[in-house]
Amino acid sequence: MTEAAVCPVHHERDHPLQPPIGFAEAVSDGPVRMVWPNGVEAWMVSSYAGVRQVLSDSRFSTRKGGQPEMRTDDGEEVLDPDQPGNINGIDGAEHMRLRRPLSRGFMVKRMNELRPRIQQIVDEHLDVMEAKGAPADLVTSLCLPLPSLVIAELLGVPPEHQELFQATAGDLFGKNGSKDEYLAHATKLAEVLTPIVEAKRAAGTNDDMIGLMANDTDFSMDELIFLCIGLLAAGHETTSNFLGLFTLHLFEKPDQLEILRRDPSRADVVVEELMRYTVGQLGGPGLTRRATEDVEVDGVLIRAGDWVSVSLMANLDEALCPRAEQLDLDRDAVSHLGFGFGPHQCLGANLARAELQIGLRTLFERFPNLRPAVPVTEMAYRNDMITYGAAEIPVVW
């Protein structure tokens, strides 16, 4: 790719809950060139139809050349695409070999069985928050511990290790770390996980996901360990950020918050609309692929070897729903792209939905007068992470 990129990636935001400055305008005319901070150039696709095409078309590979956002400034890949168990860096039959056994652990039936435990964790943490009194930081009080504890218990990580995993998992999502730093964090987790996996394999247990993977599949030990690390990190960071961002959007739109307060039983539909809208408002590039042959997307020819990033601003495309740029919690759920699309669609979407529905509903039922202690624009945000979110959410009630 030799032409100059027209859209730098990491813009500043005028408002922390809106897309980067100028981003929407830059990508409005179809696929455009963009450039990562490390100099890697790519196409940006932002239409609803175009994003679905890229994420479902086997001619766009997750493997070919790795991910540009996971490269250091000198072009070195942080995450080895040949790492055993790197489920997000492989395609086709090899991808399905790893994904299919994991999918059983995230089925709707299993997630419904988890709901009472998720409710218990939410209640316990809100008990502590209430006992300590206002003001409180919602991030440390609920948003971070909820998904961390749930994914650790789902996997079968003993309680004595859960604090370590919660502290270390987030480090894997930093955008500015070196390859050595990334490997150091992963190694720390691997040293704790290895004896856990070995013990479950020896005992033949299958009552949690680690046991299920260790005994019911042909995963190698290296694959098992890396898959566990990936699940712990993803389950920790993404849902935590979305629970916080959902709350902030509701603070900024009290008319929409009133809809949830008026009918908490609609939490399932509310979460779908908040996911659609919030992911769309994040802007910027999301998932990345590389073309293995020439492909036309939205009338633009993308050449073999070109990088392609998708912007989930596609969730704000009028082709998806009327008034897509507006948050409307009275809206029926639509087929948004908040959990991705295609063969790499988020494995833990059912788990995330359960956590977000229970967490959000209970939070505003328990604290009907919950409100920000400082303006949303004055809170601290995490621009140094691959998944954007609030670093703190001071609240009173």
Distance CA 363, CA 257 (A): 12
Q: Is the pLDDT of residue 13 over 80?
A: yes
Strands 295-297 and 136-137: unpaired
Identity (one letter) of the amino acid at 10?
Answer: H
Query: Which range, 27-41, 228-242, 271-285, 313-327, has the best average confidence (pLDDT)?
Result: 313-327
Q: In the chain, what's the furthest Cα-to-Cα distance?
A: 60
pLDDT of residue 388: 87
Distance CA 87, CA 223 (A): 9
**pLDDT (tens digit per residue) in 249-258:** 999 999 999 9
Distance CA 304, CA 310 (A): 17
What residues contact 106, with CB distance under 8 A and at least 6 apart? 347, 348, 349, 350, 351
Q: Omega into 19 within 30° of 0, i.e. cis?
A: no
Distance CA 316, CA 314 (A): 5
Q: Where are the beta strands (DSSP E) in the chain?
A: 7-8, 32-35, 41-45, 60-61, 136-137, 288-291, 295-297, 300-302, 307-310, 371-372, 394-396
Burial class (CB in 10 A: 0-12, 13-18, 19+), 290: buried
Which pair of tokens denotes residue 290?
């590389």
pLDDT band at 56 (very low <50, low <70, confident <90, very high): very high
286 neighbors 309 (Cβ within 8 angstroms): yes
Query: Which range, 21-30, 51-60, 376-385, has the best average confidence (pLDDT)?
Result: 51-60
Treating both helix axes as pointing N-terminal to C-terminal, what angle do 221-252 and 209-216 enclose, rounded to 10 degrees? 150
As beta bridge partners, residue 288 has 309
* Structural domains of the chain ordered from first start: 5-396 (1.10.630.10)
The lowest-confidence range among 164-168, 270-274, 332-336, 353-357 is 164-168
Distance CA 207, CA 167 (A): 26
**pLDDT (tens digit per residue) in 239-292:** 999 999 999 999 999 999 999 999 999 999 999 999 999 999 998 777 889 999
Could you tell me the pTM of the whole model?
Answer: 0.92
Q: What is the DSSP letter of 64?
A: T
